[in-house]
């Protein structure tokens, strides 16, 4: 996966690589299947001594249709995210404000309505807590000692309404817990009209013995391809995982 970066000297630049920050007591990775065809986008940025902001967006449309939208979204994600968490502000309030600003950015860059499901979170290395919003994205999946649970949508996708509200929620990652995000392209992968589906993603996560988050992401994509008996041809497929070390 290559993330998009906006420069003040040009409205859109060619994609550039986005590195995952080193985490204390945790690990994060994201893996993208093959080449980008549509609107999947992920990014990571450290926003404080103990906080890392991460996000996965899925703008509707093809690669050329979404390039400017995702470039502008990354610029907002990084600049507004860094500014918000630099202040003495409640994390939930910061995440809701970031969601509002991203929504404005998507609408402006698209020149109108553009459905852009998004999941963004801020991971606190000290507490192991993730404060997040899920704007119409597929549910986040949390695996811990209690089993498997979903982090459902807290609001509508970005880019649909000029005035929108998305709640922010918090979830604690106990030592050994794993948070997995799968883009719509994974869930919608089809074979003879049957979708790969969220339940199969859950099965992969539940049964996975992966030693790293990267291996977990690769495993999800491999299972999807095996199910489809082919590579995805029309949509992006992206997995992102965050794991707190035991």
Q: Which residue has the tokens 């817990």?
A: 177
Distance between CA atoms of residues 216 and 193, nearest Å: 26
Residues 52-77, mean pLDDT to the nearest whole number: 89
Quote the domain boundaries for residue 80. 26-244
Tell me if 158 is assigned to some domain.
yes
| Residue 11 binned pLDDT confidence (cut-offs 50, 70, 90) | very low
pLDDT of 178 reads 98
- Global pTM reads 0.89
Tell me if 101 is assigned to some domain.
yes
| Residue 186 binned pLDDT confidence (cut-offs 50, 70, 90) | very high
Q: Residue 151 pLDDT > 50, yes or no?
A: yes
Tell me if 18 is assigned to some domain.
no
Tell me if 144 is assigned to some domain.
yes
Tell me if 85 is assigned to some domain.
yes
pLDDT of 6 reads 36
Half-sphere exposure of 177 (CA within 13 A, CB side): 20
> Could you give the number of structural domains in the chain?
1
Tell me if 3 is assigned to some domain.
no
Q: Residue 130 pLDDT > 70, yes or no?
A: yes
Tell me if 20 is assigned to some domain.
no
| Residue 15 binned pLDDT confidence (cut-offs 50, 70, 90) | very low
Tell me if 7 is assigned to some domain.
no
pLDDT of 9 reads 34
Please tell me the least confidently modeled range out of 16-20, 125-129, 160-164, 202-206.
16-20
Domain CATH number, residue 47: 3.60.40.10
Q: Residue 245 pLDDT > 70, yes or no?
A: yes
């Amino acid at each position: 996966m290559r993330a998009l970066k906006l420069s003040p000297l040009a409205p859109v630049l060619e994609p550039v690589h986005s590195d995952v920050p080193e985490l204390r007591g945790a690990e994060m990775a994201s893996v993208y299947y093959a080449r980008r065809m549509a609107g999947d986008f992920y990014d990571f940025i450290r926003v404080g001594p103990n906080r890392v902001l991460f996000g996965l967006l899925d703008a509707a449309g093809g690669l050329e249709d979404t390039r400017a939208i995702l470039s502008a979204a990354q610029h907002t994600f990084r600049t507004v995210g860094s500014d918000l968490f630099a202040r003495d502000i409640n994390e939930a309030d910061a995440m809701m404000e970031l969601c509002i600003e991203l929504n404005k950015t998507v609408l402006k860059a698209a020149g109108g309505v553009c459905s852009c499901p998004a999941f963004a979170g801020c991971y606190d290395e000290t507490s192991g807590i993730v404060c997040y919003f899920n704007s119409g994205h597929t549910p986040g999946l949390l695996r811990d000692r209690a089993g498997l649970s979903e982090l459902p949508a807290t609001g509508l996708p970005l880019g649909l309404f000029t005035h929108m509200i998305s709640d922010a929620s918090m979830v604690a990652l106990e030592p050994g817990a794993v948070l997995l995000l799968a883009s719509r392209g994974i869930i919608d992968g089809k074979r003879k009209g049957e979708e790969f589906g969220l339940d199969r993603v859950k099965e992969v996560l539940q049964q996975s013995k992966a030693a790293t988050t990267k291996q977990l992401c690769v495993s999800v994509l491999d299972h999807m391809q095996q199910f489809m008996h082919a590579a995805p041809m029309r949509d992006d497929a992206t997995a992102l995982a965050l794991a707190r070390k035991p």
